[in-house]
Homo-oligomer: A and B are copies of this chain.
Amino acid sequence: METVTSLADLRTHRIRLREPVGLVPTMGYLHEGHLSLVHASMAQCASTVVSIFLNPTQFGPREDLNAYPRDLSRDLDQLGAAGVDLAWTPTAEIMYPLGFQTWVTVEEIASPLEGSLRPGHFRGVATVVSKLFNAVQPQKAFFGQKDAQQVAVILQMTQDLNFNLEIIVCPTVRESDGLAMSSRNVYLNPHEREAAVVLYKALIAASRAFKNGEHDAQKLRNTLIEEIHKEPLAKLQYVSCADINTLKELEEVSSGRALLSMAVFFGNTRLIDNMIIGVD
């Protein structure tokens, strides 16, 4: 595996890669979720590029940028062992040099849910992903369903800006008890870690209610709320039962698919999770 930092080195190595090229954008501190994206890319593409960049512009001023876990040498070991062709590890100075002033914003679909609670978050995501797409020029890019609204924003942006690539969305990878893999799970103390399974339990409970015929979206949201409230360490921020395409809250899950999602605090650690219901 080659590892490059500068944009010039990236381009030099990119030209030599066999196509189709798959890109897996990450913020590092890789877990099995990231590696599932890497494996998907390696199965579908002739070459795989993984970017590792802890993107400051998608963090709010009171968020956990400085605390965010990092372990670049372990990350690179894992990517090398997985057989990745090229790792790109740009610095913040490379991605946002002095005078940087161009932003990509996605409007409606980035407004509710995470967008309403994390102002500027999706502007940072859309901007850095645009930069990664343009720098790497992949034929496919791989994202995890865990960040459901991020997926929706990137799909919209890719279509709106005519990016010439395919977005591949891979299923959320979970721990054995159901907790969605996340770099932020490392923040949890043992009690919180045990309690955090309540997100998955709540999604399963609401998903079962739907399968048993409950199509009233508010009742499904109430099921999520009730399940979360059973866990004393969990502080609920929001639950949602939204249209999968617009992310607008539904009254009824009548036709098509819906997205159940939520954000829950355990101490200072904010976790999100989601599940799609109504799959044909």
Contact = CB atoms under 8 A, between A and B. Distances in A.
B102 A156 contact: yes
A109 interface: yes
A212 interface: no
Interface stretch (A128-136, A175-183, A216-224, A252-260): A128-136
A126 interface: yes
Interface stretch (A159-167, A202-210, A268-276): A159-167
Interface residues of A, number: 28
Nearest to A11: B164
Contact of A134 (B102, B131, B163): B163
A242 B111 CA distance: 38
A12 B162 CA distance: 14
A230 to B, nearest CB: 38
A135 B164 CA distance: 6
Contact of A160 (B102, B106, B107, B156): B102
Interface in A112-171: 126-127, 130-132, 134-135, 137, 156-157, 160-164
Nearest to A123: B105
A104 interface: yes
Nearest to A106: B102
A73 interface: no
A101 B160 contact: yes
A103 interface: yes
A130 B161 contact: yes
B103 A104 contact: yes
A102 B164 CA distance: 16
Contacts of A160: 100-102, 131
A188 interface: no
Given A7-B162, A130-B161, A134-B161, A104 B106 contact: no
A32 interface: no
Nearest to A109: B101
4 smallest beta-carbon distances between A and B, as pairs: A102-B160, A101-B107, A135-B162, A134-B162
Interface of A: 7, 11, 99-109, 126-127, 130-132, 134-135, 137, 156-157, 160-164
17 contacts: A101-B107, A102-B126, A102-B156, A102-B157, A102-B160, A103-B105, A105-B105, A130-B130, A131-B160, A131-B161, A131-B162, A132-B162, A134-B162, A134-B163, A134-B164, A135-B164, A137-B137
